[in-house]
Amino acid sequence: MVSIAVNKGRDNVAMLGIGAYRPQRVVTNAEVCETLDSTPDWIFERTGIHNRRWISGDETIRSIAAAAGERALNNTPIDRSKIGAVILCTSSWLKLTPHGAPSVAFDLGLNGVAAFDLTSGCGGFCYGLGVAADLIRAGSFDYVLVIGAETMTVGLDPTDRGTAMIFGDGAGAVVVGPAEDNGISPTVWGSDGENAEAIAQDVDFLEYMNKAQALQGTDPAVEAVGRMSLHMEGPKVFRWAAVTLPRALSAALESSGVAKEDIEVFVPHQANARINELMKKNLGLAEGVPIANDIENTGNTSAASVPLAIEEMLVTGKAKGGQLALLLGFGAGLSYAGQVVTLPPAPKEPSF
């Protein structure tokens, strides 16, 4: 019987470098309130957000993803020719076909490598990090570039109080590769499809196209198409998070073999500052453990929020390379993914 070759993987993997891109336009709560029926103080009290970044000018999801990837590659001490795959974690790439990762890989001078998109809402980056680590451990690749990039504002209804004040745009990326000591624990992940519609587009693509086609025929019975927008049932998502995420965090610690007393940094998805502080308290992390708060000036950037938050903490000195951090991404799906990691070195080329 002929035997099939088995890839020889690496047991120890880590994030070797990080890069990020923050759009140039800063949007204050006051500017949001010019359209939204709210006040700047109310928005901050409920979300922890003062400002967010929105794309403008010639910025696109493709350009910001490539910019974050370029910085991650420049901040990593390996030649980019060693990158075997690019994973683009996003829910806001504007086309189903072609998917985004091959185009971004081309922009980075990596044309020809394996490249695919991963869509898992706000948990996307942590999903991508888990996939990258497992691909390297399986021997499929030596190095993988993971990019979380979103232009959430492209699909927002500016009058929707459930989303318009929360979301922003941005991109973050890491290079994952072999390391002397393991720096990425097994990923703990899951989903709740029963309640998935709590975060959803208001119409699907087929319905949207059918309405547009009917309007071209000026059918008076068809409503105006309008924008395809993201909507969220905040209370339902909050209840899901309150029940599910504490269990996910505990499972991530147990899977890593690391005690909560050993965690030095907490980097949850930047969905809501109040939720994040509550998670830290319920988990019983030490009072002095810093928690990411990039949401204050970046907003909720979905799949980009975790790498952006890591980069902000490293650049400002709130965290240091080599420290043990607990990550958790969660949101649309409803899905989540988390792991314990060793933080990469502070970037030589920061985003701000």
CB burial of 166-197 (b: ≥16 within 10 Å; e: otherwise) equals bbbbbbbbbbbbbbeebbbbbbbbbbeeebee
Please state, in angstroms and rounded to a whole number, the distance separating the CA atoms of residues 73 and 103.
Answer: 17
Instruction: Please check whether residue 347 is in contact with residue 19, taking contact to mean a CB–CB distance below 8 angstroms.
Output: yes
**Which residue among the candidates 122, 126, 182, 276 is catalytic per the annotation?**
122
CB count within 10 Å of CB 41 equals: 10
Indicate left, alpha or beta for 18 from its phi (over 0: left) and psi (-120 to 50: alpha): beta
Q: Which of 228, 206, 237, 227 is nearest to 332 (CA)?
A: 237
89 is catalytic: no
* 197: amino acid identity, one letter: E
Question: How far apart are the C-alpha atoms of 221 and 312, rounded to whole Å?
Answer: 51
Strands 324-331 and 143-151: unpaired
For 352, the token pair is 């701000």
- Per DSSP, helices labelled H in the chain are 29-32, 40-47, 61-74, 100-107, 124-137, 205-216, 234-256, 273-283, 295-298, 305-316
SS3 166: coil
29 is catalytic: no
Provide the 10 A C-beta neighbour count for residue 97: 4
Q: Which of 182, 269, 272, 276 is catalytic?
A: 269
Please state whether beta strands 199-201 and 265-268 pair in parallel, antiparallel, or not at all (unpaired): unpaired
Question: Residue 25: phi, psi to the nearest 5?
Answer: -80, 120
Question: Is 74 an active-site residue?
Answer: no
**Catalytic residue numbers?**
122, 269, 300
